[in-house]
Amino acid sequence: MIKKIFLLSISVFFALGIAELVYRMQWFDFYSTELQALNSKDGLLVNGRKKILVLGDSFSADTASYVGKLQLLFPPFDFINAAIPGTGIRETKCIAKNRIERFKPSVVIYQIYVGNDLFDIRKPLDGNISMTRKIFWWLTDRSLFLRYINYKAGQLKNSLGINPIHDQYRNEEKFSPKEFSNREKLLLQAEPLLIENSVLLKNGREVDAEELVDGLEELSKLTRNENAQLIVLLIPHCAQVNEDYLNKMVSVGAQFTSNAVFQKNNFVLYSFIKEKLKAEQIEILHPLQLFHQIDSSGNLLYYQNDIHLNTKGQKVIADFLSSTLQNELR
């Protein structure tokens, strides 16, 4: 019996190792379904039209995101939405090469979300979470294939109605801690200071930011090899925009040591990335100042019970990017 268990363990370990290698090398297009769902068949054709490739997470991977709005603003170009929910710089490093070589874009937009992209690099294992989750997070911090399996399992649960989908959070017109996104509550349960740590690079998150920068340097090299311009877009966390959002996050589990998070000149993550990549020919942008000006109680840019941008917020992002793209696409 012990021998059988040992041989089975070795077989499983070997199979996972092969799967991990296949994923990291992207010998198989693991996200072809997402690519087809977010783009028209004509847009995916290699047809001689200039293309803008968008990489990122759920803030971009939506048919109602700023990507589609940019397509309307720039009809002569094809915007390829290759964003994937739940992914970060580690997945992007694997995916980007094939996408860039296939579409040969003139511009690559890589979207970062301040709220969880550093969390995706390193999940805390000392927070108020179960031992099972700690073990699982430890494994997924080391295996991108396991992260992919978890992502697909989440999609399956959503399709079967086992887990609430984002729309159920986004349809709520009034803020309610009880109705707020369960995933965001979980992240804050694991790391109550996550938002502050990510914005201000505190408590070890500066090390994770170094890995993010290393990934951006690799992405920059890929785009240069294809004579493409790289634009890095940082989507702010809502708590950076004003105190009302910050107080909402406190009510769902976030902790802050000061109000520095939503002060305009305290976007340390952005300053860190910009300084580290100053030698690279990269446009590094964030709309925080614009969000400060526009967002108000009667003109919210984020959903009430979800950390994502609503339709107004997505339009602001599209308008914000349009001037930069006009210069790049001349």
Q: How far is CA 239 from CA 5, 18, 120, 193, 322, in A?
A: 50, 41, 19, 12, 25
Pairing assessment for the beta strands 229-235 and 107-113 based on DSSP bridges: parallel
For residue 80, the cross-strand partners are: 53
**Percentage of the chain modeled with pLDDT above 90:** 77
What is the DSSP secondary structure assignment for residue 129, as one 8-state letter? S
Place of tokens 């003109």: 299
Instruction: Write the pLDDT tens digit of every residue in 111-156.
Output: 999 999 999 999 999 888 999 999 999 999 999 999 999 999 988 7
Angstrom distance (rounded) from CA 64 to CA 79: 13
Instruction: Write the pLDDT tens digit of every residue in 167-196.
Output: 667 766 789 999 999 999 999 999 999 999
Q: Does the pLDDT of residue 5 top 90, yes or no?
A: no
Angstrom distance (rounded) from CA 279 to CA 260: 29
What integer pLDDT is reported at residue 13 of this predicted model? Answer: 81
DSSP of 36-100: HHHS-TTTTS--SS-EEEEE-STTTSSTTSHHHHHHHH-TTSEEEE---TT--HHHHHHHHHHHH
How big is the CA angle at 255 (ends 243 and 65), to the nearest 5 degrees? Answer: 60
Q: Give the pLDDT band of residue 164 (cuts 50, 70, 90).
A: low
Place of tokens 């847009």: 43
The pLDDT of 271-299, averaged and rounded, is 93
- Looking at the whole model, is its pTM more than 0.75? yes
What integer pLDDT is reported at residue 142 of this predicted model? Answer: 95
3-state DSSP percent of the chain in helix, strand and coil, to 5: 55, 10, 35
Angstrom distance (rounded) from CA 319 to CA 303: 19
What integer pLDDT is reported at residue 156 of this predicted model? Answer: 79
**Token pair recorded at residue 139:** 């494994």
Of 308, 303, 257, 320, the C-alpha closest to 56 is 308
Instruction: Write the pLDDT tens digit of every residue in 42-76.
Output: 888 877 789 999 999 999 999 999 999 999 999 99
Instruction: Report helix, strand or coil for 233.
Output: strand
Q: Give the pLDDT band of residue 165 (cuts 50, 70, 90).
A: low
What is the DSSP secondary structure assignment for residue 287, as one 8-state letter? -
Average pLDDT of the residues of the chain: 91
Number of Cβ within 10 Å of residue 245's Cβ equals 24
